[in-house]
């Protein structure tokens, strides 16, 4: 549904998005993680045919975003929830949706039906005649999502949809995004929120101007190098500690009789560590591998960016 | 049945503008306040002047409505564009299947129509009152006549269009409506200069002179059209606007 090949966007000397190559399948929820200024919003704007690319290729729904004649076709098939909700405060919830319906060439009856459907779906039907300016942040965010969905887009781009929302509103928005999976919509989600990405995304890309990593949340967690292994000993004697230091292990942390060590390849290295402990007269009670988290993966990949 | 895309944009802007009491009060109120004020001037001064001076005075007063036509839509256009920028509603709007031209034209219509209608309505009130008060001075109706007709139906719409285009261009460079209005104020200087030149008799408010002003405004509109079109496009708005 979305495909980019070496997609690049420069602003003068500044490269905002560099050589981005990725594919997002139909019905997939794809999370785009990255720090501020990583190029996430620029990527979304290019994919929505809002700004041009400097080089490379990008296709949305089979349409090349580099061809100006495709811009309207692409914008017809996508919905955008920008990082700022951008509602018309002096219009009611219903009027906000209805206006967008007209811009998508929807007839009066289609708009009436869609307005009611989405306002009810997002729990805003009772507030349909209330000015959007008086809504809470969570309600505004829901209305912005309804607006992006009003024309039944195939692809939904969401830029930080739960930023600045309280936990309850965040959950409600997140639950709604999950419910869209059932409608087979392709969702491209820009977020800083690792927990959110892990909960709702099928795959995640970590962007820091360049795409640093891509995979399922589990794949990214597994890819973290230097996974920590905890060795619980009967007694962490001086001899054992000296033996481990000779083994040149990384990041050895002692907490009583618990030793935590960074191990690149647990299957290869853990037996060597156990052998060294036993050879030094120690005895191992348990060995447990602490899995890398998505946060570990994120921080590692983001730090990999060359200065 | 769906309507013409720029009209859909205009309809929404009309709705928003109608709910902004300050803008609607200014746009509709100012021409009527002017009409009443000018009527008082006519009552106090013009009715006692000779025919030549009275004619010059009335033409000068009618020309003020041209200046109003330039002033009024700039605040609506600035609000319509800078207001969207402030409310951050431009990006979702730009993500819709509308062309840059649809949006620009829609916003221009929304600024143009109320302003020009208010100017015409204010001018009608002034002219009707003036005809009533000066019937004896001129021995008949002074209005309607060609000079104010050209002012109101040729020069005023062109001045309005120019004001809107200036507002569009300024909208890219300012971050609040007040800033746009203040900068747009500079555009009124040539109109004011023409007015004072007319009052002093340096610039005759006759058909030839007004057609010349109309021609200049037309050329200025054509030149600014390309500039405003280059300013109001998605790429510029999202990457270069303040």
Q: Does residue A266 share a domain with residue A205?
A: no
Portion 122-161 of A in contact with B at CB < 8 A:
144, 147-148
Dig out the tokens for B76 from the structure: 């609506």
Q: Which residue has the higher pLDDT, A9 or B49?
A: A9
User: Do B104 and B168 contact (CB within 8 A), yes or no?
Assistant: yes
DSSP A131: B
The mean predicted confidence, pLDDT, of chain B is 89
The interaxial angle of helices A108-121 and A137-149, nearest 10 deg, is 140
Whether residue A36 lies inside any domain: the answer is yes
Given pLDDT bands bounded at 50, 70 and 90, which one contains residue A7?
very high
Whether residue A99 lies inside any domain: the answer is yes
Q: What angle do CA B17, B19, B21 make, to 5 degrees?
A: 90
The single residue listed with the structure tokens 């261009």 is B169
Whether residue A302 lies inside any domain: the answer is no
The mean pLDDT value for B21-31 works out to 89
What strands lie across the sheet with A203-208, from one edge to the other?
A78-81, A155-159, A186-191, A29-33, A203-208, A210-215
Whether residue A298 lies inside any domain: the answer is no
Portion 69-88 of A in contact with B at CB < 8 A:
72-73, 75-76, 78-82, 84-88
Given pLDDT bands bounded at 50, 70 and 90, which one contains residue A291?
low
> What is the pLDDT, as a whole number, of residue A226?
59
> What is the pLDDT, as a whole number, of residue B2?
63
Q: Give the pTM.
A: 0.82
To the nearest whole angstrom, how far is the Cα of A90 from the nearest Cα of chain B?
A: 6
What are the tens digits of pLDDT across the range A134-157? 999 889 999 999 999 999 999 999
> What is the pLDDT, as a whole number, of residue B1?
52
Given pLDDT bands bounded at 50, 70 and 90, which one contains residue A307?
very low
Size of chain A, expressed as the number of residues it contains? 307
Residues of A in contact with B95 (CB under 8 A): 48, 50, 75, 78-80, 82
Going from N- to C-terminal start, the domains of chain B cover: 5-239
Q: Does residue A188 share a domain with residue A262?
A: no
User: Do A209 and A16 contact (CB within 8 A), yes or no?
Assistant: yes
To the nearest whole angstrom, how far is the Cα of A63 from the nearest Cα of chain B?
A: 14
Query: A187 - beta bridge partners?
Result: A29, A156
> What is the pLDDT, as a whole number, of residue A166?
82
User: Do A266 and A284 contact (CB within 8 A), yes or no?
Assistant: no
The mean predicted confidence, pLDDT, of chain A is 90
Q: Which of A11, A85, A104 shows the shortest C-beta gap to B96? A: A104
Q: Report ipTM for this prediction.
A: 0.85
Whether residue A299 lies inside any domain: the answer is no
Q: Does residue A189 share a domain with residue A44?
A: yes
What is the C-alpha to C-alpha distance for residues A224 and A292, in angstroms, rounded to an integer?
6
Domain of A277 in residue numbering reads as: 227-291
The interaxial angle of helices B188-199 and B51-86, nearest 10 deg, is 170
End-of-domain residue from the set A187, A222, A257: A222
What is the C-alpha to C-alpha distance for residues B223 and B162, in angstroms, rounded to an integer?
10
Q: Does residue A198 share a domain with residue A171?
A: yes
The interaxial angle of helices B51-86 and B21-44, nearest 10 deg, is 170
- Pairing type for strands A284-290 and A227-233 reads antiparallel
Q: Does residue A68 share a domain with residue A201?
A: yes
b/e for A137-165, b at 16 or more Cβ within 10 A? ebbbbbbbbbbbbbbebbbbbbbbbbbeb
Q: Does residue A253 share a domain with residue A118?
A: no
A305 pLDDT higher than 60: no
Q: Is B239 on the interface with A (CB under 8 A)?
A: yes
| Alpha helix ranges (H) inside chain B | 5-18, 21-44, 51-86, 90-94, 100-138, 146-150, 156-171, 177-184, 188-199, 207-231, 234-239
Provide the CATH number for the domain around residue A271. 3.30.70.100
Provide the CATH number for the domain around residue A51. 3.40.50.300
User: Do B56 and B63 contact (CB within 8 A), yes or no?
Assistant: no
DSSP A293: P
Q: Does residue A236 share a domain with residue A125?
A: no
What is the C-alpha to C-alpha distance for residues A95 and B106, in angstroms, rounded to an integer?
18
User: Do B193 and B133 contact (CB within 8 A), yes or no?
Assistant: no
Q: Does residue A132 share a domain with residue A78?
A: yes
From the list B192, B187, B190, B193, the residue with the least C-alpha distance to B162 is B187
Dig out the tokens for B53 from the structure: 């001076």
Q: 3-state DSSP call for residue A188? A: strand
Q: Does residue A114 share a domain with residue A51?
A: yes
Q: Is A251 on the interface with B (CB under 8 A)?
A: no
What is the C-alpha to C-alpha distance for residues B171 and A296, in angstroms, rounded to an integer?
44
Q: Is B136 on the interface with A (CB under 8 A)?
A: no
Whether residue A301 lies inside any domain: the answer is no
User: N- to C-terminal Cα distance for chain A?
Assistant: 33
Q: Does residue A240 share a domain with residue A197?
A: no
Instruction: Please answer yes or no on whether B12 and A78 come within 8 Å at the CB atom.
Output: no
B155 pLDDT higher than 90: yes
Q: Does residue A265 share a domain with residue A190?
A: no
What region, left, alpha or beta, does residue A52 occupy, with left being phi > 0 and alpha being psi -120 to 50 degrees?
beta
Q: What angle do CA B120, B126, B132 make, to 5 degrees?
A: 135
Q: Residues near A25 by Cβ (< 8 Å), separated by ≥ 6? A: A1, A186
What are the tens digits of pLDDT across the range B73-130? 988 888 888 888 888 899 999 999 999 999 999 999 999 999 999 999 999 999 999 9
What is the C-alpha to C-alpha distance for residues B216 and B225, in angstroms, rounded to an integer?
14
Given pLDDT bands bounded at 50, 70 and 90, which one contains residue B242?
low
From the list A163, A168, A92, the residue with the least C-alpha distance to A134 is A92
How many domains would you assign to chain A?
2
To the nearest whole angstrom, how far is the Cα of B240 from the nearest Cα of chain A?
A: 10
Whether residue A284 lies inside any domain: the answer is yes
What is the C-alpha to C-alpha distance for residues B221 and B213, in angstroms, rounded to an integer?
12
Q: Which of A103, A135, A148, A163 to mutate to test the interface with B (most CBs of B within 10 A)?
A: A103
To the nearest whole angstrom, how far is the Cα of A262 from the nearest Cα of chain B?
A: 44
> What is the pLDDT, as a whole number, of residue B44?
83
Q: Does residue A207 share a domain with residue A119?
A: yes
Whether residue A300 lies inside any domain: the answer is no
Given pLDDT bands bounded at 50, 70 and 90, which one contains residue A194?
confident
Q: Which residue has the higher pLDDT, B158 or B135?
A: B158
B168 pLDDT higher than 50: yes
Q: Which residue has the higher pLDDT, A2 or A291?
A: A2
Size of chain B, expressed as the number of residues it contains? 242
């Amino acid at each position: 549904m979305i495909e980019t090949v070496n997609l690049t966007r420069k602003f003068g000397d500044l490269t905002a998005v560099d050589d981005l190559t990725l594919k997002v399948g139909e019905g997939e929820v794809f999370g785009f993680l990255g720090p501020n200024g990583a190029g996430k919003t620029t990527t979304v704007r290019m994919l929505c045919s809002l700004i041009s690319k400097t080089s490379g290729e990008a296709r949305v729904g089979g349409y090349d975003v580099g061809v100006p004649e495709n811009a309207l076709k692409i914008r017809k098939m996508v919905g955008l929830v920008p990082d700022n909700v951008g509602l018309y405060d002096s219009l009611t919830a219903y009027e906000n949706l209805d206006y967008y319906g007209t811009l998508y060439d929807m007839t009066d009856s289609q708009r009436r039906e869609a307005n009611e459907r989405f306002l009810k779906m997002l729990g805003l039907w009772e507030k349909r005649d209330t000015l959007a300016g008086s809504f809470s942040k969570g309600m505004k965010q829901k209305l912005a999502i309804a607006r992006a969905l009003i024309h039944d887009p195939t692809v939904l781009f969401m830029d930080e949809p739960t930023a600045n929302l309280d936990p309850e509103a965040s959950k409600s928005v997140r639950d709604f995004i999950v419910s869209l999976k059932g409608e087979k919509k392709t969702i491209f989600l820009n977020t800083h929120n690792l927990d959110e990405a892990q909960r709702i995304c099928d795959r995640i890309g970590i962007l820091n101007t360049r795409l640093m990593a891509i995979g399922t949340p589990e794949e990214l967690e597994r890819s973290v190098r230097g996974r920590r292994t905890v060795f619980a000993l009967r007694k962490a004697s001086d001899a054992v500690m000296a033996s481990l230091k000779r083994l040149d292990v990384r990041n050895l942390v002692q907490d009583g009789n618990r030793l935590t060590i960074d191990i690149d390849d647990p299957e290869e290295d853990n037996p060597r560590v156990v052998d060294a402990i036993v050879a030094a007269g120690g005895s191992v009670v348990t060995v447990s591998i602490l899995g890398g988290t998505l946060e570990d993966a994120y921080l590692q990949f983001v730090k990999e960016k060359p200065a | 049945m769906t309507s013409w895309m720029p009209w859909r944009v205009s309809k929404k802007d009309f709705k928003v503008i109608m709910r902004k009491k300050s803008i609607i009060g200014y746009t509709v109120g100012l021409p009527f306040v002017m009409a009443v004020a000018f009527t008082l001037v006519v009552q106090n001064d013009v009715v006692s002047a000779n025919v030549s001076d009275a004619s010059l005075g009335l033409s000068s007063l009618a020309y003020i409505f041209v200046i109003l036509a330039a002033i009024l839509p700039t605040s609506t256009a600035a609000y319509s564009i800078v207001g969207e920028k402030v409310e951050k509603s431009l990006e979702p709007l730009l993500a819709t299947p509308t062309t840059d031209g649809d949006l620009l034209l829609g916003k221009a219509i929304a600024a143009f129509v109320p302003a020009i209608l208010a100017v015409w309505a204010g001018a009608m009130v002034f002219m009707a009152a003036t005809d009533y008060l000066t019937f004896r001075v001129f021995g008949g109706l002074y209005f309607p006549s060609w000079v104010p007709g050209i002012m109101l139906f040729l020069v005023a719409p062109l001045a309005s269009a120019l004001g809107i285009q200036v507002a569009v261009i300024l909208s890219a460079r300012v971050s609040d409506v007040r800033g746009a209005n203040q900068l747009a104020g500079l555009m009124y200087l040539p109109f004011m200069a023409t007015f004072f030149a007319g009052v002093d008799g340096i610039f005759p408010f006759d058909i030839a002179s007004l057609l010349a002003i109309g021609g200049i405004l037309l050329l200025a509109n054509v030149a600014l059209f390309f500039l405003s079109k280059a300013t109001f496009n998605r790429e510029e708005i999202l990457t270069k606007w303040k």
